Amino acid sequence: MTAMSFVYLAAILFAIGAAAVLLRRNAIVAFMGVELMLNAANLALVAFAHMYAELDGQIMAFFVLVVAAAEVVVGLAIIIALFRARQTISLDEPAELKG
């Protein structure tokens, strides 16, 4: 069994994350779906790095980790600001914006 199986696993996790983003209307849950997608990409990077006996893939995964953390900070700040104004975080509650 090679590390390739982990790439398959990453693809499945990526698809599950994407499904959550498309399906869920709770902003926080949709956001967690995005986090799962980023982690799936990380898993793929580490698996490829292992196959190629390189460090670069791991370094890239490290950068993604930092960027994702910064993104979470901003995203949750926006969600809290919106919650203070609307008392709900559903993505299609009183839709002020029309599609």
Partner 1 sequence: MNFVTPEIAWAPLTPILIVLGTAAVAILIEAFIKSPATRRTVQLTVTIGALLVALGFVIVQWVGLDGSAGDVVMTGKITVDAQSLAWQAMLLVFGILGALLFAARTSDGEDAFTPLGSVPPGSTKERLARRAGLKVTEVFPLLLFAVGGMMLFTCITDLIFLFVALELFSLPLYIMVALARRRRLLSQEAALKYFLLGAFSSAIYLFGAALVYGATTQIDLESIGIAIDFIPNRDGMLLAGAVMVVAGLMFKIGAAPFHSWVPDVYQGAPTPVTAFMGAATKAAATAALVRVMYLAFYPLEWELSWMFWAVAITSMIIGTLAALVQTDIKRMLAYSAVAHAGFILVAFAGLTPEALVALPFYLLTYGLATIGAFAIITQVRERAEDGGIGAEAVRLGQWAGLGKRSPFLAGAMALFLLSFAGIPLTAGFIGKFEVFSAAIAGGAWPLVLVAVIASMVAAFFYVRLIVLMFFTDAPEGADEAIAVETETLTRVVIGITAAAIVILGILPSGVLNIFESAAHLLVSAG
Partner 2 sequence: MVNEVLFWTVALLTVIPSLALIFAKRPVHIAMSIVLVMVGLAAAYVGMGAPFLGMVQIVVYTGAVMMMFLFVLMLVGVDNAEDLRETIKGQKWIAFAAAGGLAILLIAVIGDATIEPRTGDVVGNPEEIAMVLFSEYVLVMEVLGFLLITAAVGALVLTHVPRLTPRRTQVELQAARVAAGADPVNKPMPGVYARHNALDVPALDPEGNPIEDSVSRVLEVRHQTQDGAEFRAQLEDTDNPDHEARPHGAPSRDSDTRNTREGEEPK
What phi-psi label fits residue 2: left (phi over 0), alpha (psi between -120 and 50 degrees) or beta?
A: beta
- The contact pattern for partner 2, residues 5-34, with x = CB under 8 A and - = no contact, is xxxxx-xxxxxxxxxx-xxxxx-xx-xxx-
**Binding-site partner at residue 37 among partner 2, partner 1, none, CB < 5 to 8 Å by type:** partner 1
Structure token digits, residue 14: 């990526």
91 binds partner 1 (CB under 8 A): yes
Q: Is the dihedral of CA 86, 92, 96, 97 positive or negative?
A: positive
Residue 99 CA to residue 96 CA, distance in Å, equals 10
- The contact pattern for partner 1, residues 17-56, with x = CB under 8 A and - = no contact, is xx--x-----x--xx--x--xx-xx--xx-xx--xx-x-x
78 binds partner 1 (CB under 8 A): yes
